[in-house]
Amino acid sequence: MQPLLLLRWRLCTMLAMSKLRSVKDVDLEGKKVLLRLDLNVPMNAEGQIADSTRIDKTLPTLNYLLEQGARVIILTHFGRPKGEYVEELKVDKIAVALGDALGRPIDKLDACCGSEVEERVSHMKNGEVLFLENTRFETGEKTNDPVFSKQLAALGDIFVSDAFGVVHRSHASTVGLASYLPAYAGLLLEKEIEILSALLEAPEKPLLLLVGGAKIDTKVGILEKFLELADVYLIGGGMGNTFVCSQGYEVGESLCQRDKLEMAKAFCESAELKGKVLLSLLDAVAIKGEISEDAKPIVVDLDQVTPDMKILDIGPKTIAAFKEKIAEAATIVWNGPMGLYEMEAFSEGTRAIAKAIADSDARSIVGGGDSIDAIKKFGLSFDQFTHVSTGGGAMLEFLQGKELPGVQVLMESK
């Protein structure tokens, strides 16, 4: 079977045979709901929440549960404490911020399981919210240990997952809980799956895939999977450096994944054979020496890059070429910044491209922590995009047709 047909077939059978069990399909009055959220919010240098997108996006489910008279027990991970208690990774500030967003204070406990938590939970009233401590303080979380899952499950009557950002991980609080409690999808998770499924099933053409950023390993797969579905590929950021390097261009000391050059080259050949449009860097904003706010940006054509340079952004010719393609697209999927957007001198590529997508009439789907951060930094509104996904890795895996364990456990046929 052709890869595209296979992908569609897999999706159609997956969706036809097994629908997500929705939180809307269950009587919630008086139920103790273990609600898994992804509140792994970014913090600034002062230890304050830098971006509250993830908090705001959980409110519809939370409000719905409370309106229905549920008793809500919130679970989230935060950072990478590696199964140990880490003072700086306690979730107190997140609980306060969520309470502010919700418009009422939320009681936060200092553990996520154990007798004290059980005791407190047993006294909960309808419409009350409790926030438990970072699930990743427990070794059993990331190993999906049944003992830990059972301990968590003992706290509630049902499990609701609204943590789309972590459904590609098989952890106790994303997957394990579903073995011991009836499991349902929250409203945000449902919406993510609905929009991304529709994109895969019948995308309006031409479909443009714009990829950038630093995590080349995690993004290579989507390029290949989209070989049938996409019509145009635009590749910038560190990923773009790898692609132009695979075509024999000098990229000097730029971020470039040299062990992926063969793969990049093979992909370019396949795309050409299939008659796809593939554009990467035509020119660049580069520096010589160390990366800093004071580094002097030099605009160079691609064939003028020297071995002592670092490419930190796409150049004006690339921006113009990318914008032309964006204007012609009917559907745009974007993941990953075009350059080191965190520094003003190297942010123009990402800014111009983000704005072009925001201004276009195409259906636009954006995912990835840094891409979303860039949108906010440039003062663009989420409303200017069709869908801003709360999952970076999870969105890419879903679009590649991979089974997401945290979604599988919420399917009706399970």
| Contact partner at residue 347 from ligand ADP, Mg ion, none, CB < 5 to 8 Å by partner kind | none
Closest residue to Mg ion: CB criterion: 370
Binding track, positions 339-378, relative to ligand ADP; x by CB under 6 A: xxxx-------------------------xxxx-------
Q: Tell me if residue 393 is catalytic.
A: yes
Give yes or no for residue 315 binding ligand ADP (CB under 6 A).
no
Give yes or no for residue 238 binding ligand ADP (CB under 6 A).
yes
Task: Point out which span in 112-120, 207-215, 227-235, 292-300 binds ligand ADP (CB under 6 A).
Answer: 207-215
Structural contact between residues 231 and 277, judged by C-beta atoms closer than 8 angstroms: yes
Sign of CA dihedral 91, 94, 100, 104: negative
| Contact partner at residue 406 from Mg ion, ligand ADP, none, CB < 5 to 8 Å by partner kind | none
| Contact partner at residue 340 from Mg ion, ligand ADP, none, CB < 5 to 8 Å by partner kind | ligand ADP
| Contact partner at residue 237 from Mg ion, ligand ADP, none, CB < 5 to 8 Å by partner kind | ligand ADP
Which residues partner with 210 through β-bridges?
Answer: 234, 334
| Contact partner at residue 315 from ligand ADP, Mg ion, none, CB < 5 to 8 Å by partner kind | none
Binding track, positions 247-276, relative to ligand ADP; x by CB under 6 A: --------x---------------------
Q: Tell me if residue 369 is catalytic.
A: yes
- Lookup: tokens for 21: 């069990």
Closer to ligand ADP by CB, 52 or 126: give it.
52
The rounded distance, in Å, linking the Cα atoms of 372 and 382 is 9
3-state secondary structure labels for all residues of the chain:
CCHHHHHHHHHHHHHHHCCECEHHHCCCCCCEEEEECCCCCCECCCCCECCCHHHHHHHHHHHHHHHCCCEEEEECCCCCCCCCCCHHHCCHHHHHHHHHHHCCCCEECCCCCCHHHHHHHHCCCCCCEEECCCHHHCHHHHCCCHHHHHHHHCCCCEEEECCHHHCCCCCCCCCHHHHCCCEEECHHHHHHHHHHHHHHHCCCCCEEEEECCCCHHHHHHHHHHCCCCCCEEEECHHHHHHHHHHCCCCCCCCCCCHHHHHHHHHHHHHHHHCCCEEECCCEEEEEECCCCCCCCCEEEEHHHCCCCEEEEEECHHHHHHHHHHHHHCCEEEEECCCCCCCCHHHCHHHHHHHHHHHHCCCEEEEECHHHHHHHHHCCCCHHHCCEECCCCHHHHHHHCCCCCHHHHCCECCC
If phi > 0 it is left, if psi is from -120 to 50 it is alpha, else beta; for residue 237 that is left
Give yes or no for residue 214 binding ligand ADP (CB under 6 A).
yes
Q: Report in angstroms how near the CB of residue 373 gets to ligand ADP at its nearest.
A: 8
Binding residues for Mg ion (CB under 5 A): 369-370
The rounded distance, in Å, linking the Cα atoms of 354 and 79 is 28
Closer to Mg ion by CB, 133 or 370: give it.
370
Q: Considering 213, 336, 393, 406, which one is annotated as catalytic?
A: 393
Q: Considering 54, 108, 136, 351, which one is annotated as catalytic?
A: 54
Q: Report in angstroms how near the CB of residue 311 gets to ligand ADP at its nearest.
A: 5
Q: Report in angstroms how near the CB of residue 251 gets to ligand ADP at its nearest.
A: 9
Closer to Mg ion by CB, 38 or 370: give it.
370
Give yes or no for residue 49 binding ligand ADP (CB under 6 A).
no
Q: Report in angstroms how near the CB of residue 21 gets to ligand ADP at its nearest.
A: 29
- Lookup: tokens for 139: 């070794």
Give yes or no for residue 203 binding ligand ADP (CB under 6 A).
no
Q: Report in angstroms how near the CB of residue 111 gets to Mg ion at its nearest.
A: 30
Instruction: Report the residue from 156, 252, 337, 406 that binds ligand ADP according to the rule CB under 6 A.
Output: 337
Structural contact between residues 43 and 50, judged by C-beta atoms closer than 8 angstroms: yes
Q: Report in angstroms how near the CB of residue 165 gets to ligand ADP at its nearest.
A: 11
Closer to ligand ADP by CB, 266 or 291: give it.
291
Q: Report in angstroms how near the CB of residue 373 gets to Mg ion at its nearest.
A: 8
Radius of gyration over every alpha carbon of the chain, rounded to an integer in angstroms:
23
Closer to ligand ADP by CB, 33 or 284: give it.
284
Q: Report in angstroms how near the CB of residue 133 gets to Mg ion at its nearest.
A: 26
Site residues, ligand ADP (CB under 6 A): 212-215, 237-238, 241, 255, 311-312, 335-337, 339-342, 368-371, 392
Active-site residues: which are they? 54, 215, 369, 393
